[in-house]
Amino acid sequence: MLRSILRLAYGAGGYAAGLASIAAVVAFLADLPFFKGVNAGDPGPIGPSIAINLGLIGLFGLHHSVTARRWFKARWTRLIPPALERTTYLWMSTAAVALLILFWQPVTIPLWQVSDPWAAGAIWAAFLAVWGLMFSATFPIGHLRFFGLAQVWNRVRGLPEPNPAFTARWLYGLVRHPISLGWMLVPWLTPQMTLGQITFAIGTMVYVLTATAFEEADLAADLGEAYRRYRREVPAFLPRLRRSRRRSGI
C-alpha cells in the first residue's frame, strides 16, 4: 500500500513538474517581467554568452534525445521500474529546463521590433495559439500517458502496460510531429527579436530537425508497417495544401 502511494505521489509530482516546466518556458520566451525572461539580466560579452547559451540548448537537447531512445530505455528500465520511466524522464526534463533558464545569458542586441500595437498583439495571440495547439496535441496520443500518469496508475492497479499510442487524428492528420513543429515556431513569434532570442530559435530548430530522424527510426521500429505507411502519407512538418483522400485507416 505504501509503495503504491509513493508511486502515485511520484507520478503526480512528475505530471505537475512537466506542466510547470512548460509554463516556465512560455514565461521565459515571452520575457515576462516577473520571471527570468530570455532578455532579463545584465548582458555580458557576446561571444561567451552565445557559446554558453548554445551549450545549454545542447544539454537540453541531449537529455531529450538520449533518454528518449529505445536503447537507453532498455538499459534505464533495469534500474527503475518501467512504469516510472516516463515520470523520471519528466523530472529530468524539468531539471534541464531549470538549468537552461537559470543560466541563460541575455544577448539583448535588437534585430527587429514590431512597434504597432495591433500587429504586436496578433503576434502574441499566435504565440499563445501555437502553445495551445501543442498542448492539445498531447490528447490524441494519450495526455496522461504522455505525462507518465497513466503508466503509474496502471502499475498501481496491476494492469498491463498498453501498446504505444499511435494516431493520425487531429493535428497528426496534417503533420507527423505537431509538437516538434510548435517548438520550432514559438521562439520566432515575438514582436521584438534579439540576438539572444534568435540564438534560442535557431538552436531549437537545429535540435528538432536532428532529433526527429532518431525519433522516426524508433517509431518505425515500435509500430512497424503502420507507421512507415503513415510516414509516406503525412508530411513531417509542412502540411500539404490539399490532403490526400488516400488514407490508410490509421
Query: What is the mean pLDDT, run by run of 10 residues, along the chain of 250 residues?
Result: 85 94 95 90 93 94 80 82 88 94 95 94 97 94 88 82 72 92 96 96 93 85 84 88 50
Element holding 192 (H helix, E strand): strand 192-194
Dist. CA 58–CA 61, nearest whole Å: 5
Query: Residue 203 in contact with residue 56, Cβ under 8 Å?
Result: no
What pTM does this model have?
0.87
The pLDDT of residue 16 is: 95
Dist. CA 172–CA 184, nearest whole Å: 16
Dist. CA 105–CA 46, nearest whole Å: 9
Q: Provide the residue type at 68 as one letter.
A: A
Domain boundaries, the chain: 2-233
The pLDDT of residue 76 is: 81
The pLDDT of residue 38 is: 95
3-state secondary structure 26-64: HHHHHCCCCCCCCCCCCCCCHHHHHHHHHHHHHHHHHHH
Query: Residue 50 corresponds to which cell in the numbers above?
Result: 552565445
Beta strands in 98-191 (DSSP E): 110-113
The single-letter DSSP state of residue 237 is: S
Longest dimension (CA), the chain: 59
Contacts of 97 by beta carbon, 8 Å cutoff, 6+ apart? 21, 24, 25, 60
The pLDDT of residue 126 is: 97
Dist. CA 63–CA 57, nearest whole Å: 10
